[in-house]
């Protein structure tokens, strides 16, 4: 593999490890929905303010970037042994450069939180602390890696923390001293959505499996992994519908998410019966589509409708 020219190596890095535009759309839906859902729970008469939306998006985006950078540090040994084609092992970028970007991102988050509402610093520090523990595998890495389910849920708990910060960009700024009742449902949805994406990207056809790389299709078998993914997706849909009912969106949520679940079931069954390469990629792609659709239904969509049709 020929090295990328120095001028475009960061473009190559983002394309391979953190696609800015694809991730940006999902993170925008995620953050806008957290802010909007909080505002609707509070019974706010107007749409969230632009500063709240911007800070929620930028801080969420940087938090997900921090997750990627932390993975580069944490997985370097395994990547060097089993995936030498990745950017850091092959020398495209260095850990020192990524670390500097991570520190710069944290400074930006700090300044944004201070500017919008200093009370947000508490939620930001909690998120940073949990990310630091994740980066060290909670100091029990060998034990965790031997227990895939434990590893999954402990690492996905970062999602509710990022989500809670985004929602706080609404209710904390509004002057409330505590989150509105019901926000925990949105946080639970975010946790399950993180599990859906994580499992979905590690369900592969036999032709795509790599020696030494632990995927859920290797650990559990392709069919079982697909049905675990589908079961979590169903549970996510149920919790999302309960949350949607709190903001008067139950019927749209049932229709949209129910239709999406039927498609997901077809994908899971198809992969279980015939795990072709393209079907494994469909499961991964649909995980992102499901997440995007759910967040639009649960917050961003209703708030956009309120903005366009006051």
Domain boundaries along the sequence of the chain = 13-150+158-173, 182-300
| Residue 48 contacts residue 39 (beta carbons within 8 Å) | yes
- Which tens digit of pLDDT belongs to each residue from 219-243? 999 999 999 999 999 999 999 999 9
Q: What's the pLDDT score for residue 4?
A: 53
The CATH number of the structural domain formed by 13-150+158-173 is 1.10.357.140
Q: Which residues contact 168 (CB under 8 A, 6 or more apart)?
A: 38, 117, 119, 120, 123, 179
Choose among 46, 302, 60, 40: nearest CA to 190.
Answer: 60
Averaged in consecutive runs of 10 residues, what is the pLDDT profile of the chain (310 residues)?
66 95 94 94 87 97 97 92 94 96 98 97 97 94 90 95 96 89 94 96 90 88 95 97 94 96 96 88 94 92 77
Supply the DSSP symbol for 92: S
Q: 258-274: string of b/e by CB count within 10 Å (b at 16+)? A: eebbeebeebbebbbee
Strands (E), the chain: none
State the pLDDT at residue 45.
75
Cα Rg of the chain (Å, integer): 20
* Cβ count near 87 (within 10 Å): 21
Q: Which residues of 74-84 are buried (b: 16+ CB within 10 A; e: fewer)?
A: eeeeebeebee
Tell me the pLDDT tens digit for each residue of 274-290: 988 888 899 999 999 99
* CB-based contact 88:96 (threshold 8 Å): no
pLDDT digit string (tens) for 179-213?
Answer: 998 999 999 999 999 999 999 999 999 888 888 88
DSSP 253: H
Cα separation, 158 vs 64, whole angstroms:
10
């Amino acid at each position: 593999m020929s090295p990328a020219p120095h001028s475009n190596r960061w473009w190559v890095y983002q394309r391979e490890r953190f696609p800015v535009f694809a991730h940006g759309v999902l993170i925008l839906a995620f953050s806008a929905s957290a802010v909007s859902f909080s505002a609707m729970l509070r019974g706010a008469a107007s749409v969230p303010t632009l500063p709240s939306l911007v800070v929620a998006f930028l801080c969420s985006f940087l938090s997900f970037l921090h997750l990627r950078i932390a993975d580069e540090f944490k997985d370097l040994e395994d990547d060097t042994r089993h995936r030498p084609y990745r950017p850091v092992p092959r020398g495209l970028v260095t850990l020192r450069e990524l670390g500097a970007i991570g520190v710069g991102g944290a400074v930006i988050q700090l300044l944004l939180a201070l500017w919008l509402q200093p009370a947000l610093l508490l939620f930001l520090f909690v998120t940073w602390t949990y990310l630091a523990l994740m980066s060290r595998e909670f100091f029990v890495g060998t034990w965790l890696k031997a227990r895939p389910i434990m590893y999954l849920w402990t690492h996905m708990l970062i999602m509710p923390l990022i989500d809670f910060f985004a929602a706080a960009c609404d209710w904390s700024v509004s002057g409330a001293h505590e989150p509105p009742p019901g926000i925990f449902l949105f946080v639970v949805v975010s946790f399950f959505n993180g599990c859906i994406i994580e499992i979905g990207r590690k369900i592969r056809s036999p032709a795509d499996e790599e020696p030494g790389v632990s995927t859920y299709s290797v650990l559990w078998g392709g069919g079982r992994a697909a049905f675990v993914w589908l079961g979590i997706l169903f549970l996510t849909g149920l919790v999302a519908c309960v949350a949607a009912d709190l903001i008067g969106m139950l019927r749209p949520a049932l229709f949209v998410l129910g239709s999406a679940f039927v498609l997901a079931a077809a994908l899971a069954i198809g992969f279980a019966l015939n795990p072709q390469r393209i079907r494994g990629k469909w499961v991964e792609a649909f995980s992102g589509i499901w997440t995007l659709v759910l967040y639009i239904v649960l917050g961003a969509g209703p708030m956009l409708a309120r903005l366009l049709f006051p």
